[in-house]
Amino acid sequence: MTNDNHVPEQDKINEIPLQKEEKETPEQPQSLEEQLEEAQAQAAEYLDGWQRARAEFANYKKRMEGEREELIRLANSGLVYQLLPILDDFERAADTLPDNLRTLTWVDGVLLIARKLQAILEAAGLELIQAQGKPFDPNFHDAVIYEPVDDPALDDHVVEELQKGYLFGGKVLRPTMVKIGQAEKQALPD
């Protein structure tokens, strides 16, 4: 049996050596290596860009969180500052309360309200500035009166607090209004 469909020209085509392919074969590995190097370089560039973008985003998140916390602290400090005169009024009322009224239960209730207000403000970050007997510091004290003192150790020291000062979140919310001692300057002997 013979295959009638067999075309002799196909044999000739199959026998012709592919010179063109043989020439490309040595070049292909080199071009593949170049392509691989280019792809690796591009991948490294993309990785570097991705890492930078990720770091920038992390920094952005930290910055936004810090700004948000600062905004909340600033808003809270404004509210606390507005409540300070009420706290002062409660303290003045308690200091000037006549002895015959101190035993009344409603007075105890009002004083309890004052203590609760103070506790809430302290829990929010309010701190009393201790000034009595301390050296004058313009960062924490507002000197309104100078008083002559005999003791030179009290010179430029707080001798009386006229209005309490407070810190909020470690920063001065209201400086302490104080009276400062001023020692008499003695004349030097000639």
Cβ proximity of 163 and 126 under 8 Å: no
Candidate CATH numbers 2.30.22.10, 1.10.287.70, 3.40.50.720, 1.20.1740.10; the one for domain 128-185: 2.30.22.10
91: left (phi over 0), alpha (psi -120 to 50) or beta: alpha
Of all residues in the chain, the percent with pLDDT exceeding 90 is 59
pTM of the model: 0.63
Write down the pLDDT at residue 68: 93
Residues in the chain, how many?
A: 190
Largest CA distance in the chain: 149
More confident residue, 43 or 152: 43
Q: What pLDDT, in 10s, does the model give residues 34-51?
A: 889 999 999 999 999 999
- 49 three-class SS: helix
Locate the domains of the chain by residue range: 128-185
Residue 111 has pLDDT above 90, yes or no: yes
User: In 10 A of CB 135, how many CB atoms?
Assistant: 12
Write down the pLDDT at residue 18: 53
Residue 143 has pLDDT above 70, yes or no: yes
Write down the pLDDT at residue 152: 84
Residue 27 has pLDDT above 60, yes or no: no
Cα angle 157, 163, 164; round to 5: 85
